[in-house]
Amino acid sequence: MSVLLRDASELLYTGEDLIITDPPYNIGYKYNGEFHDRMTEEEYGALFEPMQEHRVVMIHYVQAIYEHIAPWLGYPEEVVSWTYPSNAGSKCWRAVAWFNCRPDWTRYRVPYANPNDKRIKELVKKTGGRSLSNHWHVNLVKNVSREKVKEYTNQIPEEIVRRIISTTAHKGDIIVDPFSGTGTTAAVAQQMGFNYRAYDINPLAVELTERRLQSWTSAKKNELPFDHGKTIQGGVD
């Protein structure tokens, strides 16, 4: 388990690695510190070239996945739409894309719609909830959210990473995030009992990730045990 200051274009991955990441979007956004994501197509592609032929789950805008990521990683084997309420114009959803791997929706369950319906109550008794679908409705992390890391922006919700790990990871996998940011991927991996590696080129991101992992209490670590091959009960979808 490690958190390191490292450029994603220089990383080496192994067969045990499951890469789960929310990369810079290359739209000129200035992140905390002196870092901004305005790269040439070649520079941007170099971030993903080391991931070729490895298992990758990526959170990005769907157009960018097909225009800028697919030329390096190939077309995804599965794509989920993640929607959320937002005041940011038309951008109210992102895609979660699986490359060289597929999720097993039956390993994570969410509540049925119409829970007071008699038939649904019987289903809940038998199954505990319905399997995930390819449409997720999960709120963004807001300034007042419990999991918010105040010093950083564009934080991915823990619930999104929890669903990815629950449906995709296997015993012995190492969860890797080459664009750690606030450390959500590593934090959820730790909480679920997986080994992890987190990288970022921003010293602030590395510091925040380390702080977040160190602050995790033993009670919190045991809150969501990952029983391999079993289902996990999730939140409202």
- With bands split at pLDDT 50, 70 and 90, how would you rate the model's confidence at 227? very low
Domains contained in the chain, CATH given: 2-102+135-222 (3.40.50.150)
Instruction: Dump pLDDT digits (tens) for 114-165.
Output: 889 999 999 988 888 999 999 999 999 988 898 999 888 789 999 999 999 9
pLDDT given for residue 1 in this prediction: 83
pLDDT given for residue 144 in this prediction: 86
Instruction: Dump pLDDT digits (tens) for 67-118.
Output: 999 999 999 999 999 999 887 666 789 999 999 999 999 999 999 988 899 9
Instruction: Dump pLDDT digits (tens) for 10-44.
Output: 999 999 999 999 999 887 766 666 666 788 999 99
Instruction: Dump pLDDT digits (tens) for 44-60.
Output: 999 999 999 999 999 99
Residues 203 and 78: beta-carbon distance below 8 Å: no
pTM for this prediction: 0.88
Looking at the predicted structure, is the pLDDT value of residue 222 above 70?
Answer: no
Please provide the DSSP assignment of the chain as one string: -EEEE--GGG----TTEEEEE-----SS-B-SSS-B----HHHHHHHHGGGTTSEEEEEE-HHHIIIIIHHHH-S-SEEEEEE---SSTT--EEEEEEES----GGGEEEPPSSTTSHHHHHHHHHHSSEEP-SEEE-PPPPTT-TT--TT-SSPPPHHHHHHHHHHH--TT-EEEESS-TTTHHHHHHHHTT-EEEEEES-HHHHHHHHHHHHT--HHHHTSS---TTS-EE----
- With bands split at pLDDT 50, 70 and 90, how would you rate the model's confidence at 233? low
- With bands split at pLDDT 50, 70 and 90, how would you rate the model's confidence at 170? very high
pLDDT given for residue 54 in this prediction: 98
pLDDT given for residue 18 in this prediction: 98
